[in-house]
Structure 1
Amino acid sequence: MKVAVIMGGISSEREVSLNSGNEVFDNLDRNKYEVVKVIIDNTEDVFTKITNDIDFAFLALHGKFGEDGRIQSILEAKNIPYSGCGPLSSGLCMDKNVAKKILKHSDIPTAPWIVTNSTDKINYDKIDSFGYPVFIKPNSGGSSVATFFVKSKDEVKNAVEKVLEFDEYAMIEKYIPGGEYTSFVLNGKVFPTISIKSNSEFFDYSSKYAENGAIEQVVYLEDDLQKQINKISETCWRIFYCKAYVRIDMIIHDGVPYVLELNTLPGLTKTSLIPRSAAACGLNFSDLLDKIIEYSLS
């Protein structure tokens, strides 16, 4: 089977994508696959660099034109199978505003929020009802790029302006204090929970990717709490029509898990969150990549 590892892309997460892609490329089993790299520098590359002799596209893209369903739709039109969720799931999860509406409709706790596409349309009364601090971030983005922890009304406009340089909409979200956790789901099975303890004020870009930026480890929580996390993870898998794998980020406050977002193409280096979770069940990185391919094809 000829597997093309698709990496790079046009989003603000390009560097993260290249790191993921190179790790995937290095760790795919050469006894099973003929592996090639495809680095996307612009959207047209999908049509010229992903050739018709490719049997499977392993997507190591993040953010815009990676996780938003567009490249998935193009690959389907080219009849090339690919890793991870389909176009609909990808688009729903990428749009945090839409995803949170679905979570709320499904009675899954998530922090109150509003969105705006202009500094002239900021609803300060609504933000005041949340109380400060708040998070202001791109509605369709990841890796905590252009994410601001805003502590006063005076900081709101400037933060929204900066976010709108990256995205069409800025999300303003109530701050929920608590511990940060992530739940990995592979083919509908919930794997061990990972605890994230940032050395910064919150789990920002530097914490995620700098050496010693955060302590990330498998945890075994009190039984009732773990059952809540697992149930929420299974529900998210179902209501967003996920396929192959997904990562669900949460904050636990007063014993209640609040879902932050779903990542349909989470980071895939050996030290990323989902390989840590898989390793706790005896699944090494190369075997995890095999499983992602297997479940994506099934």
Structure 2
Amino acid sequence: MKVGVIMGGISSEREISLKTGEEMLKMLDPNKYEAVPVVINKKEELAEKVRGLDLALLALHGAFGEDGTVQAVLESLNIPYTGSGVLSSAICMDKDMSKRLLRAAGIPTADWLCWNHIDEFSPEALEELGYPVIVKPSSGGSSIGMTKVNEPDELRAAVMEAFRWDRSVMAERYIRGMEITCPILDGETMPIISIIPKAAEWFDYDAKYTANGAVEQVAVLPPELEREVRRIALDCYRTLKCTVYARVDMILSDGFPFVLEVNTLPGMTSASLLPRSAKAAGLTFSGLLDAIIAVSLKERGVPVHVR
């Protein structure tokens, strides 16, 4: 089976995608797959570079990767790919839209505002939300362009920074608590991971990608709370029509979970949260990739043939 690891891309998360892709290439079992790197530098080259693949293993992050665009191109070329489909990918990438759907489904998520153009920005609109807030690009990831705003004087600069990265910007009520993530594979929840930044107040870019920036370990939660977290994670997965695998990020505040976002293509380096959860479940990185590939092929209606 010829598996192309699709990485790079054109988003602000390109370098993170390249790291994910390199790790996947190292961990794909050579006895099962013919693994080839497919580095995307511009949109126009995708169709040509993926020709002849039996499967596209997506290591992309951000726009033209997680937002359904690449998935749509691959479907038009009849090339199976890993992860969620076009609709789910697009919805989950748009944090404003996904939060609206989650809120409509009764799933707890922090209050927020969204501006689709800088001309819509109004500091007065935040009076009901209160401070502090997290300002971030609506369709970004990896905490790029994200700022914690503690008082009104800091707001405009944070909004301008977020608009550098996206055409739509959110201000979300900051909820103090412990960040956790609940990965899901083939409709089943995996071990919940807690995230405690070592130096930062919240799980920002440096905490995510600096060595030893955060303590990430299997969360030990009271049984009732753990059941609630897993239930909410699955409700998110189903509400947003995710398939194959995803990662649901939450904040636990006074024992109550609030959903932050749902990632349809979470980071996949050996130090990333999903592989860490899989390891806690007794699944190696290679085994995790095997499972993602097998479930993706099943989801796309393709018989599994590995050499």
- Name the TM-score class by shorter chain: over 0.9
Alignment of 1:177 onto 2:170: no
Matched residue, 2:91: 92
What is the distance in 2 between the residues matched to 1:119 and 1:287?
46
- TM-aligned CA deviation for residue 188 of structure 1: 0.5
Partner of 2:196: 197
Q: For residues 5-44 of structure 1, what are the structure 2 equivalents within 5 Å?
A: 5-44=5-44
The CA RMSD measured in Å over matched residues stands at 0.9
Cα distance between partner residues in 2 of 1:108 and 1:222: 20
For 2:2, the equivalent position in structure 1 comes to 2
Q: Which residue of 2 aligns with 1:165?
A: 164
Q: Hey, what does 2:78 align to over in structure 1?
A: 79
- Identity between Structure 1 and Structure 2 (%): 50
Moved over 4 A (4+): none
Partner of 1:126: 125
Q: Is the 8 A contact 1:100 1:110 kept in 2?
A: yes
Counterparts of 1:160 and 1:118, CA distance in 2: 10
What is the aligned partner in structure 1 of residue 48 from structure 2?
48
> Structure 2 matches for 1:239-250, cutoff 5 A?
239-250=239-250
> How many angstroms apart in 2 are the aligned matches of 1:169 and 1:17?
22
Q: Is the 8 A contact 1:119 1:157 kept in 2?
A: no
Give secondary structure in 1 for the equivalent of 2:4: strand
User: Shift of the alpha carbon at 1:129?
Assistant: 1.5
What is the alpha-carbon distance in structure 2 between the residues aligned to residue 16 and residue 173 of structure 1? 25
Describe the SS at the equivalent of 1:93.
helix
Residue 270, structure 1, aligned to residue 290, structure 2: no
TM (norm. structure 1) is 0.98
* 1:274-293, Cα deviation, whole Å (9 max, x unpaired): 11111111100000000000
Structure 1 residue 119: deviation in Å?
3.6
Per-residue CA distance 1:3-43 (angstroms, 9 max, x = gap): 00000000000010000000001100000000100000010
What amino acid is the match of 2:210? A
**Deviation of 1:212 (Å):** 1.0
In structure 2, what is the Cα distance between the partners aligned to 1:60 and 1:270?
13
Kindly indicate whether the alpha-carbon contact (under 8 Å) linking 1:246 and 1:266 is maintained by their aligned counterparts in 2. yes
CA separation of 1:240 and 1:118: change in aligned 2, threshold 3 A: closer
Which residue of structure 1 lines up, in the alignment, with residue 135 of structure 2? 136
- Does the 8 A contact of 2:134 with 2:147 survive in 1? yes
Aligned to 2:304: none
Letter in 1 for 2:36: V
| Contact 1:270/1:285 (8 A) holds in 2 | yes
Distance 1:120 1:75 in 2: 36
Gaps of 5+ in 2: 299-307
Question: Does the 8 Å CA contact 1:9/1:39 hold for their aligned counterparts?
Answer: yes
The alpha carbon displacement at 1:156 in A equals 0.9
| Partners of 1:192 and 1:220 within 8 A in 2 | no
Opposite residue 221 of structure 1, the aligned amino acid is L
The CA deviation at 1:123 is 3.2
Aligned residues: 297
CA distance in 2: counterparts of 1:141 and 1:119, whole angstroms: 17
Partners of 1:238 and 1:151 in 2: CA distance: 35
Q: Which amino acid aligns with 1:242?
A: C
What runs of 5+ residues in structure 1 fail to find an aligned partner? none
Map of 1:228 onto structure 2: 228
Q: Distance in 2 between matches of 1:282 and 1:230?
A: 19
